């Protein structure tokens, strides 16, 4: 043992073998296919978002009078500011795509069933945190669309039963959108949500480790491969390809900014980002109360899905009700999204 290793071991008395053991965790071979190891992608993107987000805070000013000018400054004046902002925005969009794909693969392989129900619940919480990240981030730009999206989005919260009004007041810092609102959204975006996401990711991965990755139904293969270095390298390649893709995207489509927010003038066409299209279409089709009620039922159903599936299995075994209901909901979500994208 060389002197440097001994020096470290004397000061940090941890048995190196206990550190190596979790790295050698065997994974089933189906995890070599990219769609099955998609869980690592949001984790990589979260790191990219934290790194670029920290750089953006050096120049962003969370004040209604200065926010817009500071985003313009980052986009058009600060050296490489456009690149950092572009990667941050692109990674946030990719994060939503990656979480959705990961969720779809977990759903259709039924990897959420006993004993992994709680990990599904943690996963849905991570999905909600991802969407809240996107919503609060969008509102920080303080251009017309982001300002009015904040008003419309927070208005919807008021309709929630019992907690709606206090929650709205807490988020806005008053009954209406006012100068406090931006700093609250900023706090959520850079402190509360990152801390929650980091905590939930650790708990989520901890549970994956404790249970091991779920075997694929009807897969006769029993071979495994080690987490380190094989799986880590695979994830690193995915991360590298994502970064190359993001860099190219930002080079060809650098970030821009809309007109400055004008509180008295509502833009003709307020539209949320694509990932809120299904909810937006649904709300347009119904009254606000029915729309919000339906959305609450949808989200609650998503959280409780492993338990609903187990109940359906007991009521009608071999009917594959989980597949019929799940496919119907996924199709409905896609139809609403495409509908809103085309009709607007």
Per CB under 6 A, 81 contacts ligand HEM: no
Residue that the structure tokens 């209901």 belong to: 325
How near is the Cβ of 187 to ligand HEM at its closest, in Å?
21
Per CB under 6 A, 106 contacts ligand HEM: yes
How near is the Cβ of 208 to ligand HEM at its closest, in Å?
4
The answer to whether residues 119 and 207 touch, using CB atoms and an 8 Å cutoff, is yes
Q: Which of residues 116-145 bind ligand HEM (CB under 6 A)?
A: 116, 119-120, 123-124, 126-127
* Distance between CA atoms of residues 214 and 196, nearest Å: 25
Q: Which residue of this chain has its Cβ atom nearest to ligand HEM in the complex? A: 123
Q: Pick the closer one to ligand HEM by CB: 201 or 312.
A: 201
Which window, 40-48, 53-61, 63-71, 259-267, contacts ligand HEM (CB under 6 A)?
Answer: 40-48
How near is the Cβ of 209 to ligand HEM at its closest, in Å?
9
Residues 204-243 as x/- pattern, contact with ligand HEM by CB under 6 A: xx--x----xx-----------------------------
Q: Which of residues 41-60 bind ligand HEM (CB under 6 A)?
A: 42-43
How near is the Cβ of 109 to ligand HEM at its closest, in Å?
7
* Distance between CA atoms of residues 87 and 93, nearest Å: 10
304 CB contacts (<8 Å, ≥6 apart)?
none
For the chain, give percent helix, strand, coil, nearest 5: 70, 0, 25
Which window, 141-149, 163-171, 198-206, 284-292, contacts ligand HEM (CB under 6 A)?
Answer: 198-206
How near is the Cβ of 116 to ligand HEM at its closest, in Å?
5
Q: Pick the closer one to ligand HEM by CB: 51 or 316.
A: 51
* Distance between CA atoms of residues 112 and 106, nearest Å: 7
Q: Pick the closer one to ligand HEM by CB: 234 or 271.
A: 234
Which window, 36-44, 140-148, 269-277, 317-325, contacts ligand HEM (CB under 6 A)?
Answer: 36-44
The answer to whether residues 138 and 149 touch, using CB atoms and an 8 Å cutoff, is yes
Residue that the structure tokens 């984790």 belong to: 43
Both tokens of 208, joined, read: 């994956």
Q: Pick the closer one to ligand HEM by CB: 206 or 245.
A: 206
Q: Which helix (H) or strand (E) holds 213?
A: none
DSSP 188: I
How near is the Cβ of 81 to ligand HEM at its closest, in Å?
27
How near is the Cβ of 239 to ligand HEM at its closest, in Å?
12
Pairing of strands 224-226, 26-28: antiparallel
Tell me how far CA of residue 112 lies from CA of 23, 281, 307, in angstroms. 24, 29, 9
* Distance between CA atoms of residues 120 and 191, nearest Å: 25
Please spell the DSSP secondary structure of 60-118, one letter per residue: ---STTTHHHHHHHHHHTSTTHHHHHHHHHHHHHHHHHHHHHHHHHHHHTTTTSTT-HH
Per CB under 6 A, 97 contacts ligand HEM: no
As a residue count, the chain comes to 344
Per CB under 6 A, 39 contacts ligand HEM: yes
Q: What is the contact surface with ligand HEM in residues (CB under 6 A)?
A: 36-40, 42-43, 99, 102-103, 106, 111-112, 116, 119-120, 123-124, 126-127, 201, 204-205, 208, 213-214
């Amino acid at each position: 043992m060389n002197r440097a290793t001994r020096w470290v071991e004397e000061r940090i008395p941890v048995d190196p073998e206990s550190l190596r053991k979790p790295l050698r965790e065997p994974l089933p071979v189906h995890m070599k296919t990219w769609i099955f190891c998609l869980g690592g992608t949001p984790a990589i993107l979260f790191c990219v978002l934290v790194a670029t987000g920290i750089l953006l805070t050096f120049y962003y000013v969370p004040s209604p009078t200065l926010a817009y000018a500071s985003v313009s400054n980052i986009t058009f004046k600060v050296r490489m500011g456009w690149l950092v902002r572009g990667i941050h925005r692109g990674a946030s969009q990719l994060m939503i795509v990656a979480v959705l794909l990961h969720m779809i693969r977990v759903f259709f392989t039924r990897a959420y069933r006993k004993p992994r129900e709680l990990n599904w619940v943690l996963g849905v919480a991570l999905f909600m945190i991802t969407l809240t990240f996107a919503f609060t981030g969008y509102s920080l730009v303080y251009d017309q669309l982001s300002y009015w999206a904040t008003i419309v989005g927070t208005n919807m919260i008021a309709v929630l039963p019992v907690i709606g009004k206090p929650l709205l007041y807490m988020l806005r810092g008053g009954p209406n959108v006012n100068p406090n609102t931006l700093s609250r959204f900023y706090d959520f975006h850079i402190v509360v949500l990152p801390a929650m996401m980091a905590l939930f990711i650790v708990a989520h991965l901890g549970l994956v480790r404790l249970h091991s990755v779920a075997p694929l139904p009807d897969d006769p293969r029993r071979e495994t491969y080690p987490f380190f270095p094989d799986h880590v390298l695979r994830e690193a390649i995915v991360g590298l390809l994502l970064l190359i893709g993001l860099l190219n995207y930002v080079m060809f489509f650098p970030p821009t900014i809309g007109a400055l927010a004008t509180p008295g003038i509502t833009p003709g066409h307020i539209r949320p980002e694509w990932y809120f299209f299904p909810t937006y279409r649904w709300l347009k089709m119904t009254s606000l109360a029915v729309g919000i009620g339906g959305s609450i039922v949808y989200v609650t159903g998503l959280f409780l899905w492993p338990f609903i599936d187990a109940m359906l299995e007991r009521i009608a075994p071999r009917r594959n009700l989980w597949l019929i209901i799940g496919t119907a909901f996924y199709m409905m979500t896609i139809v609403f999204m495409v509908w809103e994208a085309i009709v607007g």
